[in-house]
Structures are given as C-alpha cells and as structure tokens.
Chains A and B, each alone.
Chain A
Amino acid sequence: MKRSRSGESPWTYILLAGILIPFLFPLAWMFLSSLKTQVQNTAFPPVWVFPPTLNNYREVFVKNPFFTFTWNSLVVAAGSTGLALVLGLPGSYAIARFKRTGIALAILTARMAPGIGYLIPWFILFTKMKMIDTYTALILTHLIVALPLVLWVMIGFFEDVPGELIEAARIDGCSNFSAFLRVALPLVKPGIVATAILSFIFSWNNFLFSLIIAGFKTRTLPIAVYNFLSYEEINWGGLTAAATIITLPVLVLSLFIQKHIVRGLTFGALKG
C-alpha cells in the first residue's frame, strides 16, 4: 500500500514525536531520576531541570556488591546462551533441512506452558540435590527459555540456506557433519549472532527463575534490584540508578539486532 510523497510534511514529524514521546518517557524518567538527589526526586510537582549528580551510581556500587551481581548475571546469561547454541544449532539445522516440523511444534507447545510449571518441579529437585544457589541450577533453568528460543529462531535462518549448496558440498565428499559445520553454519552467521544476543537478553532479564533458584551467592541483577525495592526506604535515586545499570546493556545490545527482535519475540512466527 503506497501513499503519496506528501506524507513527508512537518505534520509527519509532529505525529512521530507524538507517538514516540509516550513510549520513551518512562525510560527517560528512569534515567533522569537516577541523576537527581532524594529531595529532587520527592518534590511535587516534579523537577524537570536540575544539576545532575552521579552520587546515586556511586552509592549503588559502594553500598552493595553490585559487581558480584553483574558477574553472576553475566555468567548465567553467557552459560545458558552458549549451551543453548551448542545443543540447539545442530538440532535446528536438522529440523530445517530434513523438515521435521513435528519436533518444532512440540517445542512451541513447551513455550506456551507457564514458567512456574517448570520452576516448581525443578525447585523441589534442586532443593533435594542441594543445588539451590548454584550457577549450574540457574543455567539449567535459564536453558528452559534459551534452548527452545534458539531452536525456533534458527530453524527460520537455516531454512533460508539454499539446499543446493548443501547438496553440492555432499557431492564433493563432505560428511553430513562437515556440511553443517563448514557450509551451513558460516551462511547463518548473522542469524547466530542475533539469536545469541536475544537469548542473552532473555536470560539477563529473567526474574521468575532467578528469584527462586538464585540465593545469596549467585544473586543476579534483577533479583538484586527487586531486593533493594523491599529493603530500601524509597530511595528513588538509588533504585533508578540500579535499574538504569541493568537496562542499559540490554538496550544497547538490542540496537544491533533490531531487524531480528520481532522474529525472536514471537519465536520466529512473525517477521517485523
């Protein structure tokens, strides 16, 4: 559906700003509040112009083991993403190449089930095995999200690889495995990067699984921030500084894969 070029008038940009501002406002407000003092944050009507301070950020790191939380989040996100790729890439390749859609549908059903359904049994089992508050338990639970994600999104990318290329490699004497490693994988490299980033973001943002499985030693960033919320006497500056620190890496990462985000969020069902 094409409109005339007259669409590009000043009104278009006023309209765009009108649409963007409400969607940007909460994130901007979070960032602004993190630069305010407690007095400015509790002022009513709200303060819009003020001399920014970095004190909140300093306090977050001085008062809390925030580096440890960040490290924990990194280990779990990298661990679950890495494992999901190693396990998922050959699987999605085979599903796409040999058209095993039945397996794919079973995985989609798994995505529909509520997270708590997986969490309660694993919580019981990990408690019995004394594995609560270990990286292994956290990575395994995060894999429940990451592995189906990798499988589903990568099926789409592998389907785009022309079958003739694989056939040609096979005729030239490539084994099934080296056709996968040396022909298919290099062709879907952009897809792998996008999927890895998506999986990393999902794990980094995960709240429910970490809330129960992580303990004092392995506490991830979202849980740390949630705990501030319950313990701190509404110190909005500190809270929003912590929230900004968690969100910023995700926002930056998402910019690299904007083309693939819709595909990832709908599990490959829709391309945005």
Chain B
Amino acid sequence: MATDTVHEIEDEITTAELWDGGDSPFQSEYGKLMMWYFLLSDAFTFAGFLIAYGSLRFSMDAWPLPDFVFSTAPFGIEGAPLIFVTFMTFVLIVSSVTVLRAVQEGKLENQGGVVKWLLYTIVGGSIFLGSQAWEWTNLISVEGVTIYNNPFSTSLDNGTYITLEEAAALNPRLEKKTMMIDIHSDAGHSTEELKYLYNPMNDQKYFEKFDHHYFHRTGDHSQPHTHVGKEFKKGDSYLIAYQNGNYFPGAYKTGGVLVAEPMGPTAFGALFFFITGFHGFHVFSGLIILLVIALNTWSGFYRSRNNGHIMVEKVGLYWHFVDLVWVFVFLVFYLI
C-alpha cells in the first residue's frame, strides 16, 4: 500500500527523489484532493454570502423573525413555526446518510449497493428541492416577499391598531379614498370596496389592519379578519397583507401619533432568495452529478477501474458539503 512506501522512504529521501514525483504526501488521489479544494473555495463563497447577510442584519434596527416568516407548510398548515424547514433538513440528513452508504459500498466494490444508495440519495435530494420550490412559491405569490419587497417585519415601538375614523381624526389632512379589491371565497370570485387614507406628500397609504385571509375567505375565514383594537409591543412581528402587487400597511397609533406600518428591510428578500437559491442550485447540480455517477456505476465503468469506486467518494464529498452548507443556512435564516 502507498502508506507503507511513504513511511519507508521518509528518512532517506533526497532532493532529486523529492522532485521525481510518484510520492503522495497527502496519500490521496488527485481528483479527490481537488474536490476538497474546490469545496474549500465554495465554502468561502458561501461564507461571503452569509457574512453579507449577517452584517446587513446587524446594521438594521428591525429584522423579520424567522419563526414568524417560516410558519407555513403545504396542505394548508399555518402557524406552525419551522416545521416545514425541519422536515427539509431531515430529508437532507437522510440523503447525506444514504450517500455515505453508497461510498462505503463502493469501497467494498459492491456495484449494486452503490447504485441503490445513490438512487435513494437522488430521491432525497429531489424531495428537498421540491420542498424548496414550494417554500419559494408560497413566499413569493402568497406572502409577497420578492427581492424588491419584504412585507415581514418587527415593530420598533408599542402601539394599537386603529380604525380609519380614528386615524382621520389624528391626521385630518389625509385624503379619504377607496379602491376595488378582488375577493376569492367559497361562494366564488367578487370585488369589494376597501377604504383607506392617503398621504400624497410621501405616497403613504393607511389601511385598517387585516391579515391575508382577507382576500381568500375559505370556510374557516368566511368573515375577514381585522386586527383593529389589537395592541402590540416593540419587537412583535407583523405581516403586511399583499395582493396583486398592492401592499396594505395597517394604521396604528403610538403615543397619540398616527403611523402606517413600514415594510420590512428589503435586503431580507434579496438575501433569502439569493442564498437559498445558490444552495438550491448546488443541490440541483449535485442531483445531475449523482445521476451521472449512478449511471456510470450501473454500467460497470468504475468496477473495471478497480479503485474502490473513488468517483463515488468524490460525489459523496460534494453531497456532504451541500448538507454542511445547509447546516449554516438553516442556522442563520431559520433558527436565529
């Protein structure tokens, strides 16, 4: 074995022999070593993105709370903080273990085992990617988070949501206006008149605070939910309702002053979609590579090389790295 050779020649090595080549001080195959250094550089790329996220978050007074933003799951589950993303993390851990099994079976030159475990990994990665697609769709089209807009935020002072009459009394210079909005209910599609106050000086609209069930009234929500009269404290989370590109900031009073809820920091949406998208792109390319390696293994291509399926080991390193990055994406976006 290479190990023994290196130890034997270590004492008596001459300069000429040192530059002769043939020795492998790291006792690793070239491609595997290069995969490690690629992953190191990729780790720096991700670290750069996550540092940008961290320093922007540290530079803001208010930041959306993750257990409020990520509290929706498929099949109509709402108000279940972090449950869906925990499922996604679980799927990624399982796929990391299955790729570990593929690498182990490769070292035993068990071709069938490698193909089986690689296919399980592909299934796991696909479930993860599908879950991420659902999460993105929900955030973009239902909640209204885009790279330009973020309706999630936390309040910077204490206050009480008020009716438009109270709001108009607090600031009589605001214009009283109405707009037509679409309502989807069990009864069907209809349009409804919605009153609001408008300040032409800074293009600010004031609505009575309601949640996004206002537009989609199913059996449980046949009446629109308003939050007028509700008190909140500094640091509480809120979500500005969104429909068809329109945002509906709620009017509240704090210390006798009328305020409209501000949008959350724009950077949140841009960073979220960029970083989870970059990770998702790694998962996607990982799936392609896994598929290619699985097909090559199945054809007996690697068995004929008789080197312990080292290509499977390399794709295994890549896939573990994808899981490793998710550990930190999960930490900074969803947990803290």
* A-B complex is real: no
